[in-house]
């Protein structure tokens, strides 16, 4: 399995409610493709973590990359995962989720996942 953690810039004037719309639709699509993960909006940025079969993740990243609701995608980390971080969430979004993600990334011993944690810590530091 492959995982990708990226951030992107939210398109100007995209309402806050758009994140819920995206996640609701995407979770159906992701479930059909065996993809799990989370999507968070923090001000001008989206942060998304997805995991699943490599070909499905690559395919999804291409689709997401064409979406004009955001731009300037920067992949913070990608790598091989043996076990899913988010088993039950095909695409969850919630302000509280960031805390759960940070905890999971911090506790994970794999280097590439751990690096992602440091990026996110910097981004979400208030």
Return residues touching ligand FMN (CB under 6 A).
8, 22, 26, 29-30, 39, 46, 48, 50, 60, 63-64, 67, 69-70, 91
Locate tokens 């399995």: which residue? 1
Q: For residues 39 and 120, which CB has a smaller minimum distance to ligand FMN in the complex?
A: 39
Q: For residues 75 and 107, which CB has a smaller minimum distance to ligand FMN in the complex?
A: 75
Residue 90 Rama label (left phi>0; alpha psi -120 to 50; beta): alpha
Q: How far is the CB of 68 from ligand FMN (least distance, A)?
A: 8
H helices within 33-77, ranges in order? 54-65
∠ at Cα 42 (8, 123), nearest 5°? 75
Q: The tokens of 42 are what?
A: 């923090």
Q: How far is the CB of 76 from ligand FMN (least distance, A)?
A: 14
Q: How far is the CB of 50 from ligand FMN (least distance, A)?
A: 6
Q: For residues 34 and 79, which CB has a smaller minimum distance to ligand FMN in the complex?
A: 34
Q: The tokens of 68 are what?
A: 């004009």
């Amino acid at each position: 399995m492959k995982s990708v953690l990226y951030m992107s810039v939210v398109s100007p004037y995209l309402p806050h409610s758009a994140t819920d719309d995206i996640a609701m639709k995407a979770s159906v699509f992701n479930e059909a493709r065996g993809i799990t993960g989370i999507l968070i909006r923090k001000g001008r940025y989206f942060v998304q973590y997805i995991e699943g079969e490599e070909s499905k993740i690559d395919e999804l990243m291409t689709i997401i990359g064409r979406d004009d609701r955001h731009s300037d995608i920067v992949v913070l980390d990608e790598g091989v995962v043996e076990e899913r971080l988010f088993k039950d969430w095909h695409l969850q979004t919630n302000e509280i989720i960031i805390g759960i993600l940070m905890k999971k990334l911090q506790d994970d011993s794999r280097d590439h996942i751990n690096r992602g944690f440091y990026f996110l810590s910097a981004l979400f530091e208030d």
